[in-house]
Chains A and B, each alone.
Chain A
């Protein structure tokens, strides 16, 4: 990807909201969490929101790191591999009870499945299909508005 800082943030927020939202809705009932579906949805959507909010900070860091690249690009694998630090941070905050709005305990397996599937879906869409509905997106550094 060839993002600008504004483009990074816009793309993250839109994709997490739309693609992340759909994936979260679909996988909610299938996650290994012994709680009513409403509680599962509340927890997974709160996690999704946390990834979005924390992500604004992460994107600033990525933008800073990108400045050392001559091409000022963000290779495809970076977009996938950054799931690891981001996922770990959310998990640590979750375990510390620092994410408001979580109703119960989210099992590690459920968190990993939820986080990984959402991330993968967002990454896949950003690396191809996104260009179909938003034909100017790739030429505008990932900005949608």
Chain B
């Protein structure tokens, strides 16, 4: 895998390519010898030292830029953190965003689009979870009601979730809001394009962040940023296929008939419009629901005859949970939940409880409230019922033992309770969204090896309640991490819009205690909200 950034696609996407998967971690360890001194590249001494001196970096000929706060990733995690800091009085010249993304929602928009949430569709997020507005007021529902002159969104929020599905905003509205806020806080002034290679502690305090800039944009291959505070928000380290799907793809070099829902797979829907197809879905989460909806929508819209076989590993047939006050709804294979976690992890009772749990207790709590789930939406229920009644939507429970290609069809040998069953399909869509280990990410692997960072009970980065990366302090310098890489910490909903804002608030408050920015108190909050409302710079 090259570490020269690709302008076309975000890093998370590159990592799912087969070639990249194959190279993966092995490639990360490649340059054992290091470059020559004064070459502007990483020398052997830099590669092998846990702590760098200013002299070591100078001797390597890598140009150094001093900046107090660096955020790595440049996606929505970086965005909401920087948004908080800008509102807390930090000027743009004190922040650098190191990223290979052109804009903060680039990866998010790519992933939502390919997983069947184009701009007019609604994402799975609460009305008051606004990454472009740290107050969550006005909520998306209120903004939609005013913007489109309709009471419908407000009525839905009023009667949700009992008499209506949870209100969720349209992806397009979310992106438009992010674009506005991005301009307001001067995101482009802080953005430095390139691929972050590593973060190392600096002797004397703080950190060096090594960036590989865009090819040809600088005189040297690397640039160094010397920062007191570093924030990591690199998103998902990568996605994995189910092992049998990966084996099939590799053995047959077939990336056409077995696809991930998180990669471009429009050809499946296009093929369904030209002939009768059987599509096998794997997984029972939100993405499976989305792909299912697209297949069912197209079926109805174009009068198609597509058949869907939905394979669940764990089939949920009814409400489930250990006791009456911990029971989640479920039916027809799915576990139903409005959002990724029970709602109160973002601010209520569960958030308060999780904050106190350590080690195995926390791991158990995650297991209880986690697991694959999807929202109960009335429209999907009606479509699935129609499919079940007519026989074109069938569910199965089991695991796939073997896959083979036969006369252009993919035959999955499924181990069920009633023995082995063979299912023939034209396409298999993997919606399981298995995530790679954090060590698959080059920057995180380097951190685990050289900077004292450790793992939490779920194997991700171990952070404090303030989202400080445990064990990585460097003199007065602090490294923070938020987002998917920190799942398993004291706060469960990290990989969500609101979760990123919870983390950003904790980080901003911690930085205020360390004198880096103002603490956002009542007066600043009101005045800054007024500036937000008038689209004025913070």
Interface residues of A (CB under 8 A from B): 1-4, 7, 66-68, 70-73, 75-77, 80, 128-129, 131-136, 138-142
B139 contacts which chain A residues (CB < 8 A)? 128
Chain B: CB-nearest residue to A6 = B352
The minimal Cβ–Cβ distance linking B257 to chain A, given in whole angstroms, is 38
A139 contacts which chain B residues (CB < 8 A)? 346-347, 351, 502, 505
Report the separation of the CA atoms of residues A141 and B352 in the bound assembly, to the nearest whole angstrom.
8
**Other-chain residue from A68, A77, A128, A133 in contact with B158 (beta carbon distance below 8 A):** A77
Is the beta-carbon distance between A131 and B162 smaller than 8 angstroms?
A: no
Known interface pairs A72-B342, A132-B526, A133-B526; A141-B157 also in contact (CB < 8 Å): no
A71 contacts which chain B residues (CB < 8 A)? 161, 337-338, 342-344
**Interface majority SS on B: helix, strand, loop or mixed?**
loop
Q: A3, A72, A80, A134 — which one has the most chain B CB atoms within 10 A of its CB?
A: A72
- B69-91 contact mask (Cβ, 8 Å, vs A): 1 or 0: 00000000000000000000000
Report the separation of the CA atoms of residues A68 and B327 in the bound assembly, to the nearest whole angstrom.
8
Known interface pairs A133-B526, A138-B128, A141-B348; A72-B343 also in contact (CB < 8 Å): yes
Is the beta-carbon distance between A70 and B505 smaller than 8 angstroms?
A: no
18 of the cross-chain contacts (CB-CB < 8 Å) are A2-B343, A4-B348, A4-B349, A67-B325, A70-B326, A71-B161, A72-B349, A73-B348, A76-B157, A77-B162, A131-B128, A131-B136, A133-B522, A135-B520, A139-B346, A139-B502, A140-B347, A141-B352
CB contact list, B215-255 vs A, under 8 A: none
Report the separation of the CA atoms of residues A72 and B502 in the bound assembly, to the nearest whole angstrom.
18
Known interface pairs A68-B325, A73-B344, A73-B348; A131-B158 also in contact (CB < 8 Å): no
Chain A: CB-nearest residue to B339 = A71
Report the separation of the CA atoms of residues A134 and B522 in the bound assembly, to the nearest whole angstrom.
6
Is the beta-carbon distance between B348 and A75 smaller than 8 angstroms?
A: no
Q: A67, A70, A77, A141 — which one has the most chain B CB atoms within 10 A of its CB?
A: A70
The minimal Cβ–Cβ distance linking B339 to chain A, given in whole angstroms, is 8
Check if B328 is an interface residue, CB within 8 A of chain A.
yes
A-B pairs with beta carbons under 8 A, tally: 93
Chain A: CB-nearest residue to B523 = A133
Report the separation of the CA atoms of residues A139 and B344 in the bound assembly, to the nearest whole angstrom.
9
Is the beta-carbon distance between A138 and B347 smaller than 8 angstroms?
A: yes
Report the separation of the CA atoms of residues A2 and B342 in the bound assembly, to the nearest whole angstrom.
10
Report the separation of the CA atoms of residues A132 and B337 in the bound assembly, to the nearest whole angstrom.
28
Check if B18 is an interface residue, CB within 8 A of chain A.
no
**Other-chain residue from B142, B163, B324, B342 in contact with A68 (beta carbon distance below 8 A):** B324
Is the beta-carbon distance between B137 and A128 smaller than 8 angstroms?
A: yes
Check if B321 is an interface residue, CB within 8 A of chain A.
yes
The minimal Cβ–Cβ distance linking B513 to chain A, given in whole angstroms, is 14
A134 contacts which chain B residues (CB < 8 A)? 522, 525
Report the separation of the CA atoms of residues A15 and B476 in the bound assembly, to the nearest whole angstrom.
41
**Other-chain residue from A7, A72, A75, A131 in contact with B161 (beta carbon distance below 8 A):** A75
B351 contacts which chain A residues (CB < 8 A)? 2, 139, 141
The minimal Cβ–Cβ distance linking A137 to chain B, given in whole angstroms, is 9
The minimal Cβ–Cβ distance linking A62 to chain B, given in whole angstroms, is 12
Is the beta-carbon distance between A138 and B158 smaller than 8 angstroms?
A: no
Report the separation of the CA atoms of residues A132 and B135 in the bound assembly, to the nearest whole angstrom.
6
- B328-345 contact mask (Cβ, 8 Å, vs A): 1 or 0: 110000000110001110
